Amino acid sequence: MGMKLLEDRIVRDGKVKPGDVLKVDSFINHQMDVELFTEMAKEWQRRFAGKTITKILTIEASGIGIACMAGQQFHVPVVFAKKAQSINLEGEMYSAKIRSYTHQRVYDVIVAKKYISPEDHILIIDDFLANGCAVEGLIDIIQSAGAAIEGVGIAIEKGFQRGGDMIRSRGIQLESLAIVESMDPETGKITFRE
């Protein structure tokens, strides 16, 4: 079930762009509604109740705000994977290659080894799930560190793209707060998965 507060906000303020892109700049990706983020974080806490989570992992830049509010609810540190300028890592970093959905290019992301340990139980948080490249990169990093992946919390999943199936088929708990089933750039109409 989707989170009604978020779905209503997407319908009210989201803009459907060509190329299957949903713009939510007025409350997530540019201006941020932190009170909405707090409600989203509480919802993830309900959905991941009973799981031990020691750390939240996200990716810069757009995941950071949401992940911070989640960190506050779960009382754990938040680490964000950094987009690397040059790969000159000398063994102190975990890295993964990610294909950017919105910018259509490949870049490296890195996390310093000292911030993920084999004892960690990690919750991945991000704003959007499309083809799953970003989450897959974060999963790779967690696995390189030998830490446990407790789940993935996403604000908006585009259910007609393949990221959701990829994560669920790996047996990872995925909690998307709104799952867009279809969106039409002509009419602006957005429908959600029940």
Instruction: Point out which residues bind ligand 5GP (CB under 6 A).
Output: 21-24, 29, 62, 101-102, 126-134, 158, 163
Please, what is the Cα angle at 149 between 167 and 92, to 5 degrees? Answer: 115
Place of tokens 């960690």: 120
Half-sphere exposure of 136 (CA within 13 A, CB side): 17
List phi, psi (to 5°) of 117.
-120, 165
Smallest separation, CB 25 to ligand 5GP (Å): 8
b vs e for 117-147, b when ≥16 Cβ sit within 10 Å of the residue's Cβ?
eeebbbbbbbbbbbbbbbbbbbbbbbeebeb
Beta carbon of residue 90, minimum distance to ligand 5GP (angstroms, whole number): 27
User: Residue 75 or 103: which CB sits closer to ligand 5GP?
Assistant: 103
